[in-house]
Structure 1
Amino acid sequence: METLTKILFFLFYQIMAVELSTSINIKEPRWDQSTFEGRAKHFFTVTDPRNILLSNEQLESAHKIITDYRKGVVSPGLSEDELWRAKYIFDSAFHPDTGEKMILIGRMSAQVPMNMTITGCMMTFYKTTPAVVMWQWINQSFNAIVNYTNRSGDAPLTVSQLGTAYVSATTGAVATALGLNALTKHVSPLFGRFVPFAAVAAANCINIPLMRQRELKHGIPITDENDNRLGESTQAAQQAISQVVVSRILMASPGMAIPPFLMNHLEKKAFLRKFPWMSAPIQVGLVGFCLVFATPLCCALFPQKSSMSVSRLEPELQEKIRASHPGVERVFFNKGL
């Protein structure tokens, strides 16, 4: 019996000691990205707020595991689950095109805590002009950082381009908010609560295209299905940016549309009449609850590795691809976030 136990233990040890295969495709997400469910699972992991608490040592460890694995070197004792965990830590902190470590508050894992705080305050302090200006400015400053951090492609933006996008989006958001506030003075107070959402939607339509204007002018990298670079396309950039604008507006919708109804009801109750200072934290909490689900689900609306038919590209790019890669019918690109 003792001999059998030793044999089983030896076999178990040998099995556990088998080196992890180097054939796992970590260039792609763990789940099938052709389905909404697979993309949702992927983005629930990417936007996990706990990732912003990771130390530099943990980020560098994940970076080393993934970099080594891509070279065919497997860390001793590494399991498949540990590999995927390292990949998602790596993806949460390093830009997919440039490889640079992203600004902390610009990472997708910071979206929920940052947006719940800013959005909750925008929706609480929306009645006075100074409050509107301040919170719209803070929101657009944050959006500018997020849009720059999660841009598509590997071409840098100039200071002039960044400044133009930032000033234009902030001006557009503030002007929209103040204009709508003036129009809602003679209607139900409930409508006034939706002014921040209208301002945010308008600002997204301004901020994202301007922040990514270089992509619209010069194009973003496009590849075949095997990641062979085929050129840069402005048509692909237009599709990528329009998808991001739609996702961002829908991402903000639940957190800015549901809490106003609830707060309009709660503020008539005795509790908030007695403790009005609780209005802000309650609203921030409601927005946060909505964003925990809205952020990953709206990111999942469109595939991160988007694609389009070669026939929809610029004519000169179509000719170049058909001459050098005659079998390619679709091209792929990172749409950004």
Structure 2
Amino acid sequence: MSDLVINQKILPDISKSKWDQNTYSGRVKHYFASANPMTLFTSSTTQENSRKIVLDYKKGIIDPNLTMDQLWRAKILYDSIYHPDTGEKMFCLGRMSAQMPANMVITGLLLSCYRSCPGIIFSHWVNQSFNAIVNYTNRSGNDRTTNQQLFYSYCCATGAATTAALGLNMMVKNSHGLAARLVPFVAVAVANAINIPMVRAHELTDGIELCDENDQLIAKSKKLATLSIAQVTLSRIAMAMPDMVLSPVIMNRFTRTAYYRTRPLVQKYSEMPIQTFLAGIGLYFTTPLGCALFPQKSSIEVLKLEPSVQKQLLKWRDPPKVLYYNKGL
């Protein structure tokens, strides 16, 4: 019975991850757990029970029969399903746990439909529709991006990705090798660089929320909003890079084999299943590895903030020395 929570000499701090978030390996372990696609299939009862365990624990209410394993499993499931700032249940397709299965299909589509104009338009429309959902779901804090902003960013990103793909296809139209297969990745990178800042434009104009150790809103920082959005953009591109670069390399080599060249049915029907399968393997690893590049929740000394924020806080009787912010995912 020593693993019961009430028997612990020092109660675990579940406001933090089970693993050290100041190290890359700790963040990778955290995201392998919280971005696990299997959490998508948990029942509403299980989700609500995990939420109750976590919220009760934070209030000091501990079930006498609650074990350490049950507490941490509830915490991991809670982190996967509920927004870290608002506490609201996130839309299932917008969760990081949906990245692997959803992007597996979308990446297979992008890498298989890069030759024809209708295929390019359709695949990038699907991809940017999904990205808009993810960006909106994982925006930082209580930011209320308007429907108009979301629609504009969605249209701009879809247009940019499609234009980049069509333009690059024209440049490599005489190439049937690797160059043409890498066009979807470049288009996706361009779209991410447009979509994420536009969805989170409100943070760039008003600033990202800075809280104290008790999660009380203290101030907002435009400087950190810019940094956070840049980090999220780099993480998303890094997540896409291995499967959208390595898969085309493997497929390009496969198409040159005698087995492929002598089988018309394989040439006609194998590309999308193979690309989808390769993308799934890659995304299983790249999703947590990419998310872990930068800490989701970070701290910053007040003296390192922009002068306007420092000036605002210096008016306080006992101003905090360190503040915390959520960069988003």
Structure 1 counterpart of 2:206, from 218, 225, 228? 218
Please report how far the alpha carbon of residue 76 of structure 1 lies from its aligned counterpart in structure 2 after TM superposition: 3.6
CA deviations on 1:181-226 (whole Å, 9 max, x unpaired) are 0101134521000000000000000000000111111112112345
Looking at structure 2, the residues matched to 117 and 30 of structure 1 have their Cα atoms a distance apart, in angstroms, of: 31
Whether 1:204 and 2:204 are equivalent positions in the alignment is no
Secondary structure at the aligned position of 1:232 is classed as strand
Secondary structure at the aligned position of 2:62 is classed as coil
Secondary structure at the aligned position of 2:324 is classed as strand
Looking at structure 1, the residues matched to 3 and 148 of structure 2 have their Cα atoms a distance apart, in angstroms, of: 56
Whether 1:108 and 2:96 are equivalent positions in the alignment is yes
Superposition CA RMSD, Å:
1.8
The residue number in structure 2 matching 1:3 is none
User: Does the 8 Å CA contact 1:20/1:74 hold for their aligned counterparts?
Assistant: no
Secondary structure at the aligned position of 2:270 is classed as helix
Secondary structure at the aligned position of 1:73 is classed as coil
- Equivalent position amino acid for 2:121 in 1: V
CA deviations on 1:65-117 (whole Å, 9 max, x unpaired) are 11111111112411111101001111111111111111111100000011111
Whether 1:19 and 2:11 are equivalent positions in the alignment is no
The residue number in structure 2 matching 1:179 is 167
- Equivalent position amino acid for 2:51 in 1: H
Moved more, 105-114 or 74-83: 74-83
Would the alpha carbon gap of residues 74 and 194 (structure 1) be closer, same or farther in structure 2, given more than 3 Å must change?
Answer: same
Structure 1 counterpart of 2:324, from 312, 327, 332? 332
Looking at structure 2, the residues matched to 160 and 18 of structure 1 have their Cα atoms a distance apart, in angstroms, of: 47
Structure 1 counterpart of 2:275, from 273, 283, 289? 283
Secondary structure at the aligned position of 2:220 is classed as strand
- Equivalent position amino acid for 1:176 in 2: A
**1:97-246 correspondence runs (5 A):** 97-187=85-175, 189-225=177-213, 227-246=215-234
Looking at structure 1, the residues matched to 173 and 5 of structure 2 have their Cα atoms a distance apart, in angstroms, of: 71
Would the alpha carbon gap of residues 35 and 51 (structure 1) be closer, same or farther in structure 2, given more than 3 Å must change?
Answer: same
Secondary structure at the aligned position of 2:210 is classed as strand
Whether 1:30 and 2:18 are equivalent positions in the alignment is yes
User: Does the 8 Å CA contact 1:240/1:306 hold for their aligned counterparts?
Assistant: no
Moved more, 23-32 or 125-134: 23-32
- Listed as ranges, the gaps of 5+ residues in structure 1 are 1-12
Please report how far the alpha carbon of residue 268 of structure 1 lies from its aligned counterpart in structure 2 after TM superposition: 2.4
Secondary structure at the aligned position of 1:324 is classed as coil
Please report how far the alpha carbon of residue 330 of structure 1 lies from its aligned counterpart in structure 2 after TM superposition: 3.8
Whether 1:250 and 2:242 are equivalent positions in the alignment is no
TM (normalized to structure 1)?
Answer: 0.91
Looking at structure 1, the residues matched to 64 and 35 of structure 2 have their Cα atoms a distance apart, in angstroms, of: 29
Secondary structure at the aligned position of 1:19 is classed as helix
Moved more, 69-78 or 295-304: 69-78
TM (normalized to structure 2)?
Answer: 0.93
Secondary structure at the aligned position of 2:315 is classed as helix
Moved more, 304-313 or 322-331: 322-331
Structure 2 counterpart of 1:317, from 309, 312, 325? 309
Moved more, 301-310 or 92-101: 301-310
- Equivalent position amino acid for 2:40 in 1: I
Moved more, 147-156 or 183-192: 183-192
Higher gyration radius (CA): 1
Aligned length: 324
Looking at structure 2, the residues matched to 16 and 247 of structure 1 have their Cα atoms a distance apart, in angstroms, of: 37
Looking at structure 2, the residues matched to 175 and 18 of structure 1 have their Cα atoms a distance apart, in angstroms, of: 56
- Listed as ranges, the gaps of 5+ residues in structure 2 are none
Looking at structure 2, the residues matched to 137 and 17 of structure 1 have their Cα atoms a distance apart, in angstroms, of: 50
Please report how far the alpha carbon of residue 28 of structure 1 lies from its aligned counterpart in structure 2 after TM superposition: 0.6
Would the alpha carbon gap of residues 33 and 305 (structure 1) be closer, same or farther in structure 2, given more than 3 Å must change?
Answer: same
The residue number in structure 2 matching 1:51 is 39
